[in-house]
Chains A and B, each alone.
Chain A
């Protein structure tokens, strides 16, 4: 009687095993790497209706963050400035580099139509985030939003994932700074960050919540 399996079938179990190992490793590594918010979200820089440059306003002109985002210290929502804020200066300043963009602001002012900015940092609606609670204990703008004063177009630099939030909530001393320095870009602590952080955590009685209810209700 002829053999049912040909000779090469001897190698099949080995190959299947090897194939499975490669496949499993690739799947786990691939999901871990490509499905994480560090890959899907970081670097999101949509085109905005107006070519607004933070690099010019916050960097070169050194305007404090709060001038436009007025409510960060008082409200959960850090507001996008109204057209009125732009018009404080741009009713007279034409914009040397991009006069067309300034014209869009004036059109919005004339027509009473809001400028439809595209939101870059967008948490899901089931995660409650409060800006005031963070800046008032000394989490700098830079820690979560990066060096905005160097961005021509705003992009997301941190994943805003839950594990990223919790990394800081478990070890807040890594990121807290004196409240006066919250809006300082490129802040360098005078002494060791961890040492200073521990003192500030004690001083402000910072106890970051790590339970579900604090963010998810």
Chain B
């Protein structure tokens, strides 16, 4: 009878002990009994390929090659410059309301960490003193008077300490961000006449702000 008692105990306790492991952290590769076609002999994006010395399956394109449908002929759109290499004054895309909202989304993803949600250069990286060169406020006279192409170029090519965001932000979105930065600048610098032109109730706005 003693043996079956131990057996009963083992039957009860063992699964409980093993059950404790469920969902717990572990470092070894998960065990999959049938690995037949799990890892196939082809390469997906960002996989490792030991054939090449740098172990990358993704190869860098040869410099100077142009993909189909990717000529980027339109200098104003792709580089933000005119034929004479001066910055374009105006955004070369139709600026619609949804375009500006797209710009807002993208601004809040890529730009707020440094430039801040209001464009005043008070992003979380700056506010916490991590040692990054301070980002300028967009509400400076100097930046308000720059052409749209200049702002585009800063995103596409980087400027001084700011790196290029060309790999992270697609062309249309860069222009959308420029449009939104313009809107941000407006938000901080509008004359009273101009607000009244659009029939905005200033008193009500101020009251809102006080609350």
Chain A residues proximal to chain B, CB less than 8 Å: 22, 26, 29-30, 33-35, 37-47, 61-64, 66-67, 70, 74-75, 77, 79-80, 82, 84-85, 87-89, 91-94, 96, 112-114, 116, 124-126, 153, 155, 180
Q: Is B46 an interface residue (CB 8 A)?
A: yes
Q: Which of B15, B37, B161 contacts A126 (CB 8 A)?
A: B37
- Is A38 touching B125 in the complex (CB atoms < 8 A)? no
- Give Cα A215 to B39, complex, Å: 16
> In the complex, which residue of chain B has the Cβ closest to the Cβ of A60?
B124
- Is A92 touching B55 in the complex (CB atoms < 8 A)? no
How far apart are B40's CB and chain A's nearest CB, in angstroms? Answer: 4
Which residues in A have their C-beta under 8 angstroms from that of B33?
Answer: 35
Q: Given known contacts A43-B23, A43-B26, A125-B44, is B132 in contact with A89 (CB within 8 Å)?
A: yes
- Is B110 touching A96 in the complex (CB atoms < 8 A)? no
Nearest first, the 7 closest Cβ-Cβ pairs linking A and B are A124-B38, A125-B40, A64-B109, A77-B45, A41-B30, A45-B25, A93-B130
Which residues in B have their C-beta under 8 angstroms from that of A29?
Answer: 15
Q: Given known contacts A77-B46, A89-B132, A96-B130, is B27 in contact with A114 (CB within 8 Å)?
A: no
Which residues in B have their C-beta under 8 angstroms from that of A26?
Answer: 11
- Is B125 touching A89 in the complex (CB atoms < 8 A)? yes
Which residues in B have their C-beta under 8 angstroms from that of A61?
Answer: 113, 124-125
Chain B residues proximal to chain A, CB less than 8 Å: 11, 15, 18-19, 21-27, 29-33, 37-40, 42, 44-46, 48, 54-56, 105, 108-110, 113, 124-125, 130-133, 161, 163, 165, 167-170
Q: Which of B25, B45, B168 contacts A43 (CB 8 A)?
A: B25
How far apart are B35's CB and chain A's nearest CB, in angstroms? Answer: 9
- Give Cα A67 to B107, complex, Å: 10
How far apart are A127's CB and chain B's nearest CB, in angstroms? Answer: 9
- Is B163 touching A22 in the complex (CB atoms < 8 A)? no
- Give Cα A124 to B32, complex, Å: 10
> In the complex, which residue of chain A has the Cβ closest to the Cβ of B18?
A34
- Is A114 touching B109 in the complex (CB atoms < 8 A)? no
- Is A42 touching B22 in the complex (CB atoms < 8 A)? yes
How far apart are B7's CB and chain A's nearest CB, in angstroms? Answer: 9
